[in-house]
Amino acid sequence: MTADSDIICERIGAAGVVTLNRPRALNALNLAMVRAMTPALREWAGDPAVTRVVVRGAGDRAFCAGGDIRALYDQGLAGDRESALAFWREEYRLNAMIARYPKPYVSLIDGICMGGGVGLSLHGSHRVAGDRYLFAMPEVGIGFFPDVGATYALPRLPGHAGLWLALTGDRVKAADAVALGLATSRVSSSALPALTDDLIAGRDVQAAIAARAAPAEEGPLAAERSVIDRCFGGASVEETLARLDREASPFAAAAAATIRAKSPTSLKIAFEQMRRGAELDFEAAIALEFRIVTRIIEGRDYYEGVRAVIIDKDNAPRWTPATLDGVSPADVAAYFAPLGPNEWRAA
């Protein structure tokens, strides 16, 4: 058993159980948690007595609301970029380990699941959404970009839903998450403790989940899927906005307004990510993300976005450049350029 105030990794019955244990911080992920979880997963992969991994969040508000943005902001602002990059380098290695994990990896997601929390759950074999499930990748709103494997995963969602999520940061609840493949099943919050007991007892993973799964139901996004596919299939962010503007629907108008409030640089990066990611394997996608993060923390928008949304909470970021036409193709390409000896590699 490995225990830390922020994370608990323990063997219980047939399961390796990870509890993200920062409920007051919405279980936000930090480097110490990554460094506790990584060796635990490695040990359980080789332990025949552990037949599955179960990951859950403490408290009733969040599975994991993302990385510890304030700490990373402080490190970057102080010029300690290498400490910030150490977090992303190791977090991305953990994401890659989860994506290739040799045993059932069950995330019980009953609350907020954003950013780093998506990286801990989306790439595993079983993603169980509770009643409080709430997914988003809102990074373009803080001058960042959808990372933790989003470059691989989002382009593989149905239609153009992945680009919609990347550019808007919109939130998705449980029923729609199952329809999109973000979650593999939906189980009511009240049934999750019993499901956890079944998994710990060694019951067949798929059978245990199926026995407690809620009936499939249509979420509110179903009515908007055709709009998403019409509008988010264009060749640029600008074309996407033009298509949204031509749609006579409140959903399209809201999406356009949301996108226009985001960092123009982040929007252009995210669009190019989704284009490239459709052709990459998982580890190549993660390596691409490390190239981007290495450059983005040298710029201005990330710090301005975190200031506006997280620190001062004025929600009035001043982006540089301020408009999409101020971000050139060469500007975007620079974020994706190889890093030479500093390229990310899986452990």
Q: Which of the residues are catalytic?
A: 67, 116, 139, 147
Task: Tell me which amino acid residue 59 is.
Answer: G
Taking the CB of residue 220, how many other CB atoms lie within 10 A of it? 11
Phi, psi of 248 (to 5 degrees): -95, 70
Give dist(CA 153, CA 45) in Å, integer.
23
C-beta of residue 182 within 8 angstroms of C-beta of residue 135: yes
DSSP-derived pairing of the beta strands 185-186 and 15-20:
unpaired
Give dist(CA 251, CA 224) in Å, integer.
7
Give dist(CA 271, CA 262) in Å, integer.
13
Within 8 A by CB and 6+ apart from 38, the residues are: 90, 93, 94, 97
Instruction: Identify the CA nearest to 140 among candidates 154, 127, 126, 130.
Output: 154
Give dist(CA 57, CA 125) in Å, integer.
18
Taking the CB of residue 140, how many other CB atoms lie within 10 A of it? 28
One DSSP character per residue, 196-239 reads HHHHHHT--HHHHHHHHBPPP---GGGGGHHHHHHHTTSSSHHH
Phi, psi of 170 (to 5 degrees): -65, 155
